[in-house]
């Protein structure tokens, strides 16, 4: 198997080879079908980034406009927590661990998120361990098959892949992101599962908060209509693509109007509250953020120069959050749900010398000065204002 992985790394795979390999992985374990779930099912997958709370916001919106989310979510390894870590910052919240639990929650709320199970695509886990020791982790066909085998193992009508590009993403260049997207779309479409990839910008963190509890708060605020521009742009684009492929809208403007409605009338927020309650958490958290874990201390970070924010190195911000406990350096590490970083300035903003650019929320002082140094290093201040930041870079179908 190690020899096979090395040969794939050096020689790539044809379309048929990649599709068959992906299906073999999928068939190595359980598959989940929803016989009685009468919804248009959307599985959104993100390749991971810094401050990526899209799933928190997207699920309730898709449900509110008449669809449902059915997806497997993981814990984070690296910069910040994964979707599971974010939701588990809500006391007593438990993700569905069986098909029956998933169907019950999804049928009532339209939001179906399940933690990864050892019974789903077990071959992927074994192969990944080998990829780790054979230096083949960054092989695009192996990444594509790993992601798509898990997508195909759970029923959906549409797979939307949010492929992050840039400093804080696994794919650093648009060329690599485009190639990965093309291979994943090829796999999905060749087995009859409509698949779309959206390439989105990860040159700066998404939104203002990086962490777990604080990202839940930012997600809830978005459902109340208080968005950061970049998060809103990504979520609206994904919902638009889902509505378009369901056949409900023809234009982005039609989709935006539907989303605006379910946010204005509180329907999307109410569905998030119901999802939290059916998952064992306290739904009142959508109105009372004190129910979430809170950090003991806050450290303000000040700008050392004046000008305009021309870049925020997303990976550096992710590491700054990880060293205070918001992410994991190893699989065994515990995440501290209360800690994180809040950005006070984004790319394009004017900043004065001595002005607050970020706040670090922490419980343990051990690494907080290192975190502060990383945040200062992450902010690049220039004299020219950056205009027209593109968050949706490309759509591949």
The residue among 63, 72, 70 whose CA lies nearest residue 41 is 70
Assigned architecture for domain 294-382: Alpha-Beta Complex (3.90)
Q: Where are the domains of the chain?
A: 1-286, 294-382
Strand extents, DSSP E, 74-130: 111-115
53 within 8 A of 218, measured Cβ to Cβ: yes
What pLDDT digit, counting tens, does each position of 13-46 carry? 999 999 999 999 999 999 988 877 888 999 999 9
What pLDDT digit, counting tens, does each position of 287-333 carry? 999 999 999 999 999 999 999 999 999 999 999 999 999 987 766 77
Instruction: Tell me the catalytic residues.
Output: 45, 124, 131, 146, 150
| pTM score | 0.94
Length of the chain: 397
CA triplet 397, 184, 255: central angle to 5 degrees? 40
Taking the mean position of all CA atoms in its chain, how far away is CA 342?
18
Percent over 90 (pLDDT), the chain: 79
Query: Given this chain, do its domains 1-286 and 294-382 carry the same CATH topology?
Result: no
Q: Specify the 3-state DSSP secondary structure of 235.
A: helix
308 within 8 A of 348, measured Cβ to Cβ: yes
pLDDT bucket at 77, cuts 50 / 70 / 90: very low
Q: Is a pLDDT exceeding 90 seen at residue 254?
A: yes
Assigned architecture for domain 1-286: 3-Layer(aba) Sandwich (3.40)
């Amino acid at each position: 198997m190690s020899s096979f992985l090395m040969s794939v790394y050096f020689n790539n795979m044809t379309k048929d080879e990649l599709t068959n390999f992906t299906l073999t992985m999928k068939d190595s374990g359980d598959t989940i079908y929803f016989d009685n779930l009468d919804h248009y099912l959307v599985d959104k997958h993100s390749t991971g980034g810094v401050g990526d709370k899209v799933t928190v916001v997207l699920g309730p919106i898709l449900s509110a406009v008449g669809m449902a989310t059915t997806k497997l979510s993981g814990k984070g390894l690296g910069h910040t927590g994964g979707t599971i870590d974010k939701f588990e910052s809500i006391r007593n919240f438990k993700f569905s661990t069986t098909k029956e639990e998933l169907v019950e929650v999804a049928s009532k709320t339209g939001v179906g998120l399940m933690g990864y199970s050892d019974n789903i695509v077990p071959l992927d886990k074994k192969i990944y361990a080998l990829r780790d020791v054979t230096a083949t982790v960054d092989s695009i066909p192996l990444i594509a098959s790993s992601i798509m085998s898990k997508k195909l193992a759970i029923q959906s009508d549409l797979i939307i892949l949010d492929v992050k590009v840039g400093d804080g993403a696994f794919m650093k260049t648009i060329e690599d992101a485009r190639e990965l997207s093309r291979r994943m779309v090829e796999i999905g479409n060749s087995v009859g599962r409509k698949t779309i990839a959206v390439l989105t910008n990860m040159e700066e963190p998404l939104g203002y908060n990086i962490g777990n509890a604080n990202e839940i708060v930012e997600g809830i605020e978005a459902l109340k209509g208080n968005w950061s521009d970049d998060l809103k742009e990504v979520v609206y684009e994904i919902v638009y693509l889902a509505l378009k492929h369901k056949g409900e809208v023809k234009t982005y403007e039609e989709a935006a109007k539907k989303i605006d409605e379910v946010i204005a009338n509180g329907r999307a927020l109410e569905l998030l509250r119901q999802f939290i309650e059916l998952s064992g958490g306290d739904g009142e958290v959508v109105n009372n953020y004190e129910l979430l874990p809170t950090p003991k201390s806050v450290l303000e970070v000040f700008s050392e120069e004046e000008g305009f924010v021309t870049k925020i190195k997303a990976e550096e911000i992710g590491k700054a959050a990880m060293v205070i406990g918001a992410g994991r350096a190893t699989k065994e590490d515990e995440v501290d749900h209360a800690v994180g970083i809040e950005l006070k300035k984004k790319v394009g903003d004017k900043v004065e010398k001595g002005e607050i650019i970020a706040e670090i929320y922490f419980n343990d002082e051990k690494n907080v000065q290192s975190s502060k140094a990383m945040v200062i290093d992450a902010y690049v201040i220039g004299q020219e204002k950056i205009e027209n930041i593109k968050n949706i870079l490309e759509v591949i179908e």
